A and B are shown apart, each in its own frame.
Chain A
Amino acid sequence: MNENEISEFRSDVRAWLQDNKPAAPSFLLPETFMEVGTDQQFEFLRRWQQTVYEAGYLGMSWPEAYGGGGQPQVMQDIVNQEMAAQRVPFVPNTIGLNWAGPLILEMGTEADKQRYIKNILSAEDIWCQGFSEPDHGSDLGNAQVRAVKDGDEYVINGSKIWTSLGSYAKYMILIARTSNEGPNKYAGLSFFLAPMTADGITPTPIKKLTGEYGFCQTYFTDARIPADCMLGNEGEGWSVAMKTLMFERGAVGGQAGGLSMMDLNINDIVELARRATRNGRPAIEDPLTRDELVKLVLEAKGHVVMGSRARIPALGGTYPTAVAMSGKLRGTELKRKMTRFALSLQGANGARFISEAALDGGKWQRSYLNAFSGTIGGGTSQIQKNILGERVLGLPKS
């Protein structure tokens, strides 16, 4: 696409988004796909995904044969940027769109692609992920859910935790142990595209620290799933899971696109500081608050310039992987700090919670409590620091 075509396409997308952006509902929307807790929220977001897909703005670079747009990636990138800029709702089927979908396109059979891809895009089939287990946190290699082959089926037993959208999902990307033999713990793992409709699979909603629902613990009790829903070969689960994580972390391309969360950035906090009041005047006029706000702006802006420098190999320095590998740690910690600070801008009203009397309906309080999903999920910040210390700085293992 040349520059004219790009800017024309961008303005078309912008116009469409402005015309079709749904009006804010009467209830508080979740801010990420991991926080969808009520049917009302889910149906609203699923309808939005359908609308976006029908307009041709989702999966634009996926093959046409499976329901994609067959267009260059740059077009989807533009759509994603405009969606963020116009602050439209996110599309809820993130795990399907950005993790399972690209994985199936890369290593699934023709039948897999025919069966799954289009319905991922249209939100007909919602996907969830079964990686973490109650006793092992994010230590994926230690997964203990058992999958025992019995004829042309596998019999699954055990439980998975932190299953986002578990109650709504039709399929799960599941990592389970098919063997205890092998040279190491990784060798016995296999990867499945498991139907959540199978008897014996029970997603049980977990109440979060906010009092809302959003995750499930998924129990498997002699659940039988077809043997042909295994992706890759038996014992290759670890490498398939690693590939999935590459998609999840955005380290490789191929995602269908769309937003998976409401953007919250430092400008929102500055704006809040102007309108929230402390001691009867805008918080931004309080000198100490102002200084704290500058600190936060500098941290946020610092991440932006780090990203910019990371794209210049000549400025890579002694630790060229440091910026890329710390993205999760920095991004989630910043969000936690920003939302926590947002409460402090509100004086006594910082102590309110989701209710009409709270500023923005209590969105900030909810955001802060939910921010821990980022700093804990996918390897806590403390684990991230171990990883950075060992893999980037070359320090000895803890």
Chain B
Amino acid sequence: MIRFSEEQAMLLDTAREFCQKRAPIDVVRQAIQAGQPLDATLWQTMVDLGWLGVTIPETYGGLGLDLADTVPIFEAMGRQLLATPMLASTLATQVLITNGSDEQKAQWLPKIATGQIATLALTEANGSWESDQITTQLNQSAAGAMTLTGSKAFVLDAGVADVILVSALQDDALRWCLVDASDLPDGAIQREVVIDETRRSYSLAFSDLPIRADQVLPGTSFKKIELAAMLLITAEMSGGLEGVLAVIVDYLNTRKQFDRLIGSYQAMKHPTVDILMGAEMTRSYLYHAATVWRDETDDVAVESAVRMAKCCASEQFSEAGDRGIQFHGGFGFTYECDAQLFLRRALWGQYQFGDERHQRQKLAGLLF
């Protein structure tokens, strides 16, 4: 069962209109060319719209809504390939809400709601992000002083972030550490080259970084954060899938070969219908997952719904991007063709927090 309220529908309309206006494809390309600097004006507008505080409780200056309520915004951003620190900030917000102490929340949530950038460092340098595979260490000396040592990868927007939430192992227990970006030594944050050029992705290196007790979060919830990341990335992917379908349909309706519009060839038409079906199914799974997330009745139901959505999005978006290149023929092989932007976006999303094979493996255990 999917439910979608009028307020959510309005937010979807607002977000789509906003992203269409602020991120036409040439703006996206210019940002890539410029090395993806933070667009401060755009960011402030999003803050003013209240988007950064959607999930932040009212006492900390937010709207106090559910994470699922941000899904339409991320879908709209994905449709236009708009990459802002909202993904990182929203996920870091969930870490604080779920795991932070009152003091930690009071210190950071009002700042995030008003535009300070937060991010989370979950994935290890070797590409693992799951709770049993974290190797970054939170060490404690005999005198009680703590230090952080290890390397993280795929940390979004770390270069522009004010605060970073890092998963680390303390003895055998996994903890969240709150690291002020200004405390990191020079060279600790390095820009990474990733396949999706719209992303600002960084690696982090911690070497005996001092950590005070008040930097360690009391809560130890990790799975919910991983699922939150999957949900929002799926939302972006669902939007992106719609975007690449539009690029394909447009080309099939304008490009002529052998005196015929190429869209009249069944060899193009039928797989494009397959992409449409994949997009429709992805979007349905997305809003189904959002509904189940909001209901929060049963952990297994939430995990299954989110994994199904991520599985479907990973498979369908990457396939659509792949076909999108092929259907543009020679033009598709060039940097000029927009299909590559979508394919590269799809591949990034596919491999973040588990591709379709990973999800199916998890789902087998949940379903049978």
Q: Which residues of A contact B (CB under 8 A)?
A: 270, 284, 290-291, 293-295, 297-298, 301-303, 305-306, 308-309, 311-312, 314-315, 317-319, 322-323, 326, 330, 382, 385-386, 388-390, 392-398
**Interface residue range, chain B:** 35 or more
Q: Tell me whether A314 and B285 are in contact in the complex, defined as CB-CB below 8 angstroms, given that A291-B360, A301-B308 are known contacts.
A: no
Can you list 5 pairs linking A and B with CB atoms under 8 Å apart? Answer: A290-B364, A293-B364, A309-B288, A386-B270, A395-B252
Chain A contacts for B221, CB-based, 8 A: none
Bound-state CA distance A284–B364 (Å) is 10
State whether B288 touches A305 (Cβ < 8 A).
yes
Interface centre among B270, B272, B274 (most CB of A within 10 A): B270
Please list the 3 inter-chain residue pairs (A to B) with the smallest Cβ-Cβ separation, ordered nearest first. A314-B9, A395-B263, A389-B269
Shortest beta-carbon distance from B107 to chain A in Å: 38
State whether A309 touches B261 (Cβ < 8 A).
no
State whether B367 touches A294 (Cβ < 8 A).
yes
Q: Which residues of B contact A (CB under 8 A)?
A: 1-4, 6, 8-9, 12, 242, 245-246, 249, 252-253, 260-261, 263-266, 269-270, 272-274, 276-277, 280-281, 283-285, 287-288, 308, 311-312, 357, 360-361, 363-364, 367-368
Chain B contacts for A270, CB-based, 8 A: 367-368
Bound-state CA distance A63–B4 (Å) is 37
Bound-state CA distance A294–B263 (Å) is 33
Bound-state CA distance A355–B253 (Å) is 53
Chain A contacts for B242, CB-based, 8 A: 317-318
Chain A contacts for B368, CB-based, 8 A: 270, 284, 290, 293
State whether B276 touches A396 (Cβ < 8 A).
no
Q: Closest residue to A273 on the B side, CB-wise? A: B368
Chain B contacts for A392, CB-based, 8 A: 273, 276
Bound-state CA distance A330–B246 (Å) is 22
State whether A291 touches B270 (Cβ < 8 A).
no
State whether A395 touches B249 (Cβ < 8 A).
yes
Chain A contacts for B265, CB-based, 8 A: 398
Chain B contacts for A317, CB-based, 8 A: 242, 280, 283
State whether A395 touches B264 (Cβ < 8 A).
yes
State whether B363 touches A298 (Cβ < 8 A).
yes
State whether B269 touches A398 (Cβ < 8 A).
yes
State whether B253 touches A395 (Cβ < 8 A).
yes
Chain B contacts for A398, CB-based, 8 A: 264-266, 269
Chain A contacts for B246, CB-based, 8 A: 318
Q: Closest residue to B268 on the A side, CB-wise? A: A395
Bound-state CA distance A340–B33 (Å) is 50
